[in-house]
Structures are given as C-alpha cells and as structure tokens.
Amino acid sequence: MIRTVTLDRNQKPTEDQIEQIRKAAEREITFDEDSPQLTPAMEKAFRLAAKNRNTQKRINIS
C-alpha cells in the first residue's frame, strides 16, 4: 500500500508520520503478479526510460 501525504513548504511531518516512515523502511518488499521483481535487464530499461523522461521534462520547461 502506498500512502501519500502533502506538506506545505513550512510544515514539518508529525512524530506519527515519522514513525510510520521508519516502520515502512524496515519492512521487506513483497512482490506479486501485479508488481513482480525486476530482472537486471528490466531494471536497466526502466532506469533508461526514467532518464529519458526526465531529460524531456527539462527540455519542455526551458
């Protein structure tokens, strides 16, 4: 489960939010049919796609 919290620029996370983050960081990743573990080739392709996407963002903003 992914949980998203939006903070204002000057707002700091609560102690409860910090504790939730610490607990989440300690949990193991669980792979399933919807989110399988990536092979090295798939991971390389994913990183390349993200790099290309980020390059396009910079070009479009300028």
DSSP string covering 1-62, please? --------TT----HHHHHHHHHHHHSPP---SSSPPPPHHHHHHHHHHHHHHHHHHHHHH-
The 3-state DSSP class for residue 19 equals helix
For range 1-26, the mean pLDDT: 87
- 16-60: pLDDT as tens digits: 989 999 999 999 999 999 889 999 999 999 999 988 887 876 655
With a threshold of 0.85, does the pTM exceed it? no
